[in-house]
Amino acid sequence: MPALVLDGKSLAKKTESELSQRVNTLKAKAEGKTPILATILVGSDPASATYVKMKGNACQRIGMDSLKVELPESTSTEALLDTINQLNNDPNVHGILLQHPVPAQIDERACFDAIALEKDVDGVTCLGFGRMSMGESAYGCATPKGIMRLLEAYDIPLSGKHAVVIGRSPILGKPMAMMLLNADATVTICHSRTQNLAEHVKQADIIVAAVGRREFVKAEWIKDGAVVVDAGYHPGVDGQPGVGDVELAPLLDRVSAYTPVPGGVGPMTINTLIYQSVDSGEKSMLGD
């Protein structure tokens, strides 16, 4: 049987039309007000600027507003904390996104943690992570939550399955592992110091690759019938298409499902951010 393609691009598109309707309903009930996502970009990293632009465009497509805050490369932790506090106190702002990474002089963790829990629609605060891990209400971190929404939309069974997460970053690997655990998967977290990585991956029913290295996970490590979720993206070289963290091409006829790169996990990251922003807007404006 050909592998199921976990098509994040089309799921995101379908969800956007549902979100547009929710924003319209909200506008009608809240005297024309829309949810507002504040996006903070510090410095001039071109990739970060592109992602923030994509987020603003997604807000626009569903009829909600975004408030773009752009700060210079030389911004201090204190100045960024001031900006976040102003946005926390602005009743018209329903979600705050601080684009990662920030310049090296900034204490990124302190700045993430300054975001008010109810506006943490990107799911980056320690408080939100702790609450999510304990099964309490909190917005999930956008990429892992997007992956969970994608797996759910395609009815991929998780309960009792062995999931191997490769990567332990605060906004991907760690929250991913907790979300899979909360869905009753048996979870192994691997990382750069893991010994015998191939042996761990060979045990996996579900692999989530979040390593940030081009085709680092080899096809021969992956067992037949596994589900492959590739959270990496590396632009193509010499006119070749982009690739992810997994050597995917040899696997297409022997895994049960996989996320394409591009068009799998990436669009779900942005979609989850706006999905959670709409939810926050509804809670704030309608008290739902």
Q: For the chain, what is the largest distance between any 2 Cα atoms, rounded to a whole number of angstroms?
A: 59
Q: How far is the CB of 97 from ligand LMY7XDAE (least distance, A)?
A: 6
Q: Is 98 in the site for ligand LMY7XDAE (CB under 6 A)?
A: yes
Q: Is 51 in the site for ligand LMY7XDAE (CB under 6 A)?
A: yes
Q: Is 171 in the site for ligand LMY7XDAE (CB under 6 A)?
A: yes
Binding mask 225-244 for ligand LMY7XDAE (x = CB under 6 A): --------x-----------
Q: Is 254 annotated as a binding residue?
A: no
CA distance 232 to 266: 8
CA distance 281 to 288: 10
Q: Quick one: DSSP state of residue 85?
A: H
In the complex with ligand LMY7XDAE, which residue's Cβ is closer, 269 or 284?
Answer: 269
Place of tokens 């970060």: 48
In the complex with ligand LMY7XDAE, which residue's Cβ is closer, 227 or 229?
Answer: 229
Provide CB contacts within 8 A for 239, sequence distance 6+: none
Stretch that binds ligand LMY7XDAE, among 158-166, 179-187, 203-211, 258-266 (CB under 6 A): 258-266
Q: Kindly provide the residue ranges of all beta strands, DSSP E only, lying in 51-168, ordered along the sequence.
A: 65-71, 95-98, 162-166
In the complex with ligand LMY7XDAE, which residue's Cβ is closer, 5 or 30?
Answer: 5
Asked if residue 241 has a cis previous peptide bond (ω within 30° of 0), the answer is no
Chain-centre distance for alpha carbon 74: 27
Q: How many residues bind ligand LMY7XDAE (CB under 6 A)?
A: 18
| Rg, Å, the chain Cα set | 19
In this structure, what token pair is assigned to residue 270?
């942005």
Active-site choice (99, 161, 174, 276): 99
- φ/ψ of 166, rounded to 5, equals -105, 105
Stretch that binds ligand LMY7XDAE, among 22-30, 31-39, 178-186, 260-268 (CB under 6 A): 260-268
Determine contact, residues 279/23, Cβ cutoff 8 Å.
Answer: no
Q: Is 99 in the site for ligand LMY7XDAE (CB under 6 A)?
A: yes
In the complex with ligand LMY7XDAE, which residue's Cβ is closer, 97 or 206?
Answer: 97
Provide CB contacts within 8 A for 13, sequence distance 6+: none
In the complex with ligand LMY7XDAE, which residue's Cβ is closer, 125 or 205?
Answer: 125
Active-site choice (7, 65, 120, 122): 122
Helices (H) and strands (E) in the chain, counts: 9, 9
Respond yes or no: is residue 21 known to be catalytic: no
Conformational region of residue 177, where left means phi above 0, alpha means psi within -120 to 50, and beta covers everything else: alpha
Q: Is 262 in the site for ligand LMY7XDAE (CB under 6 A)?
A: yes
Determine contact, residues 263/233, Cβ cutoff 8 Å.
Answer: no
In the complex with ligand LMY7XDAE, which residue's Cβ is closer, 97 or 285?
Answer: 97
Q: Is 66 in the site for ligand LMY7XDAE (CB under 6 A)?
A: no
Q: List interacting residues with ligand LMY7XDAE (CB under 6 A).
A: 51, 97-100, 122, 124, 142-143, 171, 233, 262-263, 265-267, 269-270
Q: Which residues are annotated as a binding site for NADP(+)?
A: 167-169
Q: Return the active site residues.
A: 55, 99, 122
